[in-house]
Structure 1
Amino acid sequence: MSAFLIRSAFTGFALWIATLIVPGLSFVGGTTGWEQFGIVVVVSLIFGVVNAFIKPIVQILSIPLYILTLGLIHIAINAFMLEITAWITRNTTHWGLEVDSFFWSAIFGAIVISIVGWMLDLLLKEPV
């Protein structure tokens, strides 16, 4: 459970960085700083659950595309996970993540989130 929460904190930070960099990717709702922070936390938890349950199924079904595109389909799958998270938050609440378009907001957002997550993993790994 603690690993999921730590990973969700990293994801929340990566999502926040992505919304600062990527035009068309933003958090909606919250008037104060604490409300916006809460929205980032909830969205990162939802994104973590989506990645834990839906992403493995999509990856297994797209194995031929992984081979055909030499793994580049992974970017589109990550963008699809962003779209699903935005859809969930948009339809269950009226605040959360907003993605303007799959091309290029979600694609570029998925790339930024992957790079920031990778850099956080590098920073926090214990030296052997």
Structure 2
Amino acid sequence: MANESHSLTYYIIYWAVSALAVILTSKVIPGFKVSGFWAALAAAIVIGLVNTFIWPVLIFLTLPINLLTLGLFTFVINGAVIKIAAAFLSGFEVEGWLAAILGALVLSIVNALLHFILV
């Protein structure tokens, strides 16, 4: 396994691209709102932290229903992550569960595409 080390510049670009993904998602999902770049950057960072520390616990706690739905409940968990992040930030707002779930789906796709192209 390679020991890969990234520079500070890499991480700045990585988080800026993630913020851009949040902004683009807010343009296509009604009810998924961000007030500007700095709010989007904060949202990207908080979503990343929630995904790192809380998402695994949520997956574990909802394992039975996730198995029953063949993994589809994961979309609801991802929406919950978005709603948790929005609850902690001003300038980032998600109106309702549909916006959270669709926003999480679109954000994942846009984020993956942008990181593939730009980072």
Q: Given the two structures, how large is their TM-score scaled by the length of structure 1?
A: 0.74
Aligned 8 A contact 1:75 1:111 in 2: yes
| Amino acid of the structure 1 residue aligned with 2:34 | F
RMSD: 2.2
Inter-partner Cα distance in structure 2 for 1:6 and 1:61: 34
Q: CA deviation at 1:8?
A: 3.4
Look up the match of 2:34.
Answer: 27
- The aligned residue for residue 68 of structure 1 is 68
User: Using a 3 Å threshold, how does the CA distance of structure 1 residues 71 and 63 change in structure 2: closer, same or farther?
Assistant: same
CA distance in 2, matches of 1:60, 1:5: 32
In the alignment, the residues of structure 1 paired with residue 25 and residue 87 of structure 2 have an alpha-carbon distance, to the nearest angstrom, of 18
Contact 1:99/1:105 (8 A) holds in 2: yes
Structure 1 pair 13/57, CA: closer, same or farther in 2 (3 Å)?
A: same
> Is it true that 1:108 corresponds to 2:115 in the alignment?
no
The partner residue of 1:98 within 83, 93, 99 is 93
Gap regions ≥5 residues in structure 2: 1-5
Unaligned segments of structure 1, at least 5 residues = 29-35, 90-94
1:85 to partner: Cα distance: 0.5
Contact 1:8/1:48 (8 A) holds in 2 = no
CA distance 1:65–1:121, shift in 2 (3 Å): farther
Aligned-pair CA distance for 1:66: 2.1
SS of the counterpart of 1:71?
Answer: coil
2:111 counterpart residue number = 117
